Structure 1
Amino acid sequence: MPSFWWFTEGASALPLFVVCWTTVTFATSYLTAALRGDVDPILPYISDTAGRPPESCVFGLMLSMSALTAALTMFVRYRLVACATCGRSCAVFVNRTGFAIGLISCLGLLVIANFQNTTELEVHIVGAGLAFVGGALYATLHALLSWHTESRGLACVRATLAAWSLASGVTMVVAACLATWDLTYKHQAKTLLRVSAAAEWSLGVSFLTFFLTFIRDFQGMRFRVIAEPSPEHQSLLDERRRLLPQ
């Protein structure tokens, strides 16, 4: 029977924190922007809910923390897969590639958090591309790895979530492009933009759900930071100890 404090076992608190903190981030910026009348409450883009202060300030701070903890979660996942695959060359390559792409997606989140679409639109779009494309590729690669390192049930769940993220990403981009194609689709632009925004929210939910699948694996993982002097600096430390008052 699982313990009531199951989320404190091993490193399982990491992915759980990412999911909960990011959910609170999106909810806070949306509710603040909607209550202040800064956005249309019916399916705005996530970025639009953080386009103006004060919600942009809170969103930037909170999403930056999400990006950093997501990167740490990806590192623990990378080490877990590295141990499970036992040096098999193909799996090692996919694992390293996935980790690199995951870090790029986290960098994109940092760009989104700190360059709002109302001030630096071009930079914001680049960050969104890195975050969304990188996140979808990361989910896809780790869904592939799961076929070799996890049970078939969990592998199927991750494959489904990866397909969900890819479908949402394609829908978001296609709908946004069609909405800006004035000659043919101008009268449908509002509907298409809402479809694109809904796909963006769907993409975010798929990423968070994918992180939830890490919790059980992380219960058997732990990480620690060890700070100790290198042998080359041992003499310097000995000298400093002699200078201390007795």
Structure 2
Amino acid sequence: MSRWGFLASRRWAFFLLAVVLLTWLAWQLGQWQFHRLDDRRERNEIIQRNEALPPAPVAEVMAVDRPPADDDQWRVVEASGRYAVEETVVVRYRTRDGAPGVNAVVPLVLDDGSALLVDRGWWPTANRGEVPDDLPAPPDGEVTVTGWVRQDATGDSAEVTDQRTRAISSAAIGEALDRELLSGFVALASETPAPEVPLEPAELPELDEGPHFFYGLQWWFFGAMAVFGFLYLLYDEWRDRRREAQEAAERSEKY
């Protein structure tokens, strides 16, 4: 049998198949990480561009029947109206620097009768999931707010029960409150007049590129290691068989 005949064995066939699948998976995961890097860069460009723009009237960016476009994420908008304080929705399980807290989301009723959902900010609590009784109230009367446009959350976390939720969705909150809301919401930057006790404002997203580039390289490195390991074991097997063949030839010559 040829010294390479062992490749036809079931063990080596399964081994080769496993290496091919592992290498393919590592390549795909590396590609996925680089696609995420591209998405992150695109998102950062949108945020930087929108943060540099002057505040736009909310009606130019948000509408009742149209979700905010991806290009409008973190665009600064301005709106005037009156807070519907009795319809405040508490967003639970929000932490900052490891401290538990909640976010207060209040509809701002506009002149046309629709309402803009405003995430007024974060307030600390004693325990995770607690709904505080001392949540500071927003300003009374006519209020002008500026804030960053955000898209709705999706999934089970956006469900609203007893005016409490874990993620902000204008669709779910509008249904729970039986109120017509503009799609999406605004993370508050400022409000005039100022409240007696302000909440901690929204945290702007980090504009770094994240770990995706190095994760992508790591996956490709794992794939390359799988190929290298297979080739090394292949060479090692061939070398052993070659040595065995040489030893057998030497023994036959002696006898």
Same topology, TM > 0.5? no
Of Structure 1 and Structure 2, which has the larger fraction of its residues in strand?
2
Coarse TM-score class (shorter-chain normalised) = under 0.3
TM-score by length of 1: 0.26
Structure exhibiting the larger radius of gyration computed from Cα positions:
2
